[in-house]
């Protein structure tokens, strides 16, 4: 039967429910319990009121069995003609379709096989499902449909709902960890006059009332540091940020990050708190410190090893932090790596970073000793100003955290930002954030800052191969022929 025919049949059934005095799109319905709670303390002969979605129906003459599922669990329903439903109500129950949302009044009992069941005494249609649920949802190979119609994915696949419930628990665990250690959760603007705080191409927008061009934030870093200047000593924000760049299994243009800042600390302190956060969340949410990601075991027990980026660059390409662009290009080409002449010095170093971290190990490792040219917001090492006090955490080959000893010298910071702007001259998207520099001129204490990618952390902890599997509504291309569809 064609889909349009099925929909029309279901629309036609609406009149039968209306004639019976029901409102097919219902009203408030007071439940006495959730199915999960009912099952956890199941007793025979108990009167209950539950509600949920009809997921299966099996008719055997004068008897009908059905499966009802709410947010947390599934239970069997039992309906018998004349016991206790009248014939009219029994036939009406049989007109229900898979996917309909119903309210049930009934009495609990166990079948001869011991299955917890509810004998239906009365029911109410609360929302009529006009479209059929997919019969073989788990067999669908087109994952794009799952992402586009996440609502159907959640209905048909309880394990998908479990993933997002666990994601919520992960974020709650991070919050409780930080709150218990004296951190204050704050909120900073998502629309910025000047894009900054990280490398990335911003999304542009416009405010009509002020006739002002704005950018969706790349990162909240510069606003959070302003709060450190203002006197807050331990703050964090679980934030949505946006980068107008590529999409892949590890990148979504809209993503979630944890950023935290602690005054009178440095990047060494951030390493320790990173280990503590990961271990705390894994133990509290998953109940273990060894997780599995795509067939590989990852041990989160601290401490984690460190690896020098500068030393790795020297060993693999004989490149030094003081080398000029032409020298770096020449050395890369000598190692068989094609490099364009037009790249800037920092772009060449970023290319080297991508090459080296592509083979990052499965186990957690801190990459330290980044070239200062990559870190305009980080302090340099006193013994070597060409190397910054920064680390990036890699796990299962993915970067999942980044931290600095924050640069708090306003004179040096302004100079660094000006140098960065020279490299990006002509982009039209960057300018010097004078207000941020002015804030530093009031004095910012030595500070450690840390950013953790929540989406990638959830990928790892929930063993999901794509970032789209841990984002409820990932950004997708519009379907062909769909005008105005979200990307």
Do residues 185 and 175 touch, judged by C-beta distance below 8 A? Answer: yes
| Range 155-305+363-469 has CATH code 3.30.930.10 | yes
Q: Say whether pLDDT at 1 is over 80.
A: no
Taking a C-beta distance cutoff of 8 angstroms, is the pair 76, 117 a contact?
Answer: yes
Q: Where are the beta strands (DSSP E) in 2-41?
A: none
CATH fold of the domain at 3-127? OB fold (Dihydrolipoamide Acetyltransferase, E2P) (2.40.50)
Q: Is 2 annotated as a binding residue?
A: no
Confidence band, pLDDT 50/70/90 cuts, at residue 359:
confident
Neighbours of 294 (CB within 10 A): 12
Task: Give mean pLDDT, residues 133-151.
Answer: 72
- Cα–Cα distance measured from residue 276 to residue 268, given in angstroms and rounded to the nearest whole number: 13
Strand order, beta sheet including 191-192: 191-192, 212-216, 204-207
Kindly state the average pLDDT of the residues 218-246.
96
pLDDT at 481: 58
Question: Is residue 434 marked as binding?
Answer: no
Residue-averaged pLDDT of the chain: 92
Is residue 148 pLDDT above 50, yes or no? yes
Average pLDDT on 342-349 reads: 86
pLDDT surpassing 80 at residue 45: yes
Residue 380 and residue 386: Cα distance in Å, rounded?
7
The model's pLDDT over 457-468, given as tens digits with 9 standing for 90+, comes to: 999 999 999 999
Residue 39 or 340, more confident: 39
Q: Tell the residue number behind the tokens 């930002």, with chain if given.
A: 417
How far apart (Å, rounded) are the C-alpha atoms in residues 391 and 448?
Answer: 11
Exposed/middle/buried for 30, CB within 10 Å: 0-12, 13-18, 19+? exposed
Going from N- to C-terminal start, the domains of the chain cover 3-127, 155-305+363-469
**What pLDDT is recorded for position 13?**
93
């Amino acid at each position: 039967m064609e889909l349009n025919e099925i929909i029309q049949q279901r629309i036609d059934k609406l009149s039968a429910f209306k004639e019976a005095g029901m409102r097919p799109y219902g009203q408030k319905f007071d439940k006495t319990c959730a199915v999960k709670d009912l099952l956890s303390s199941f007793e025979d002969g108990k009167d209950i009121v539950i509600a949920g979605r009809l997921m299966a129906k099996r008719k055997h003459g004068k008897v009908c069995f059905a499966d009802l599922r709410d947010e947390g669990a599934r239970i069997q329903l039992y309906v018998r003609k004349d016991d206790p439903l009248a014939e009219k109500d029994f036939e009406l129950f049989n007109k229900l379709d898979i996917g309909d949302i119903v309210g049930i009044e009934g009495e609990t009992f166990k079948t001869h096989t011991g299955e917890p069941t509810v004998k239906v005494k009365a029911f109410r249609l609360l929302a009529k499902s006009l479209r059929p649920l997919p019969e073989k949802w788990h067999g669908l190979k087109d994952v794009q449909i799952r992402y586009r119609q996440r609502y159907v994915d959640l209905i048909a696949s309880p394990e998908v709902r479990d993933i997002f419930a666990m994601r919520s628990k992960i974020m709650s665990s991070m919050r409780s960890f930080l709150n218990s250690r004296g951190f204050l959760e704050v909120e900073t603007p998502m629309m910025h006059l000047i894009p900054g705080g990280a490398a990335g191409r911003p999304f542009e927008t416009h405010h009509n009332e002020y006739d002002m061009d704005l950018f969706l934030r790349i990162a909240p870093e510069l606003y959070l540091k302003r709060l450190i200047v203002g006197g807050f000593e331990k703050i964090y924000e679980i934030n949505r940020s946006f980068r107008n760049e590529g999409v892949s299994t590890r990148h979504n243009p809209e993503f979630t990050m944890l950023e935290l800042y602690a005054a009178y600390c440095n990047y060494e302190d951030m390493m320790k708190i990173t280990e503590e956060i990961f271990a705390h969340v894994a133990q509290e949410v998953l109940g273990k410190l060894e997780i599995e990601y795509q067939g590989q075991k990852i041990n989160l027990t601290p401490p984690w090893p460190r690896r020098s980026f500068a030393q790795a660059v020297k060993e693999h390409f004989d490149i030094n932090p003081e080398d000029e662009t032409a020298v770096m290009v020449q050395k890369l080409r000598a190692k068989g790596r094609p490099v364009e002449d037009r790249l800037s010095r920092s772009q060449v170093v970023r290319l080297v970073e991508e090459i080296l971290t592509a083979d990052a190990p499965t186990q957690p490792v801190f990459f330290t000793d980044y070239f200062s040219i990559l870190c305009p917001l980080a302090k340099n090492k006193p013994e070597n100003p060409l190397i910054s006090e920064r680390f990036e955490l890699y796990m299962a080959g993915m970067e999942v955290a980044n931290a600095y000893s924050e640069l708090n010298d306003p004179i040096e910071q302004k100079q660094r930002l000006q140098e960065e702007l020279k490299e990006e001259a002509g982009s039209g998207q960057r300018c010097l954030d004078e207000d941020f520099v002015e804030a530093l001129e009031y004095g910012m204490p030595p500070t450690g800052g840390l950013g953790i990618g929540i989406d990638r952390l959830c990928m790892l902890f929930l063993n999901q191969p794509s970032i789209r599997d841990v984002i409820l509504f990932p950004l997708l291309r519009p379907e062909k022929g769909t005008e105005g569809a979200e990307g």
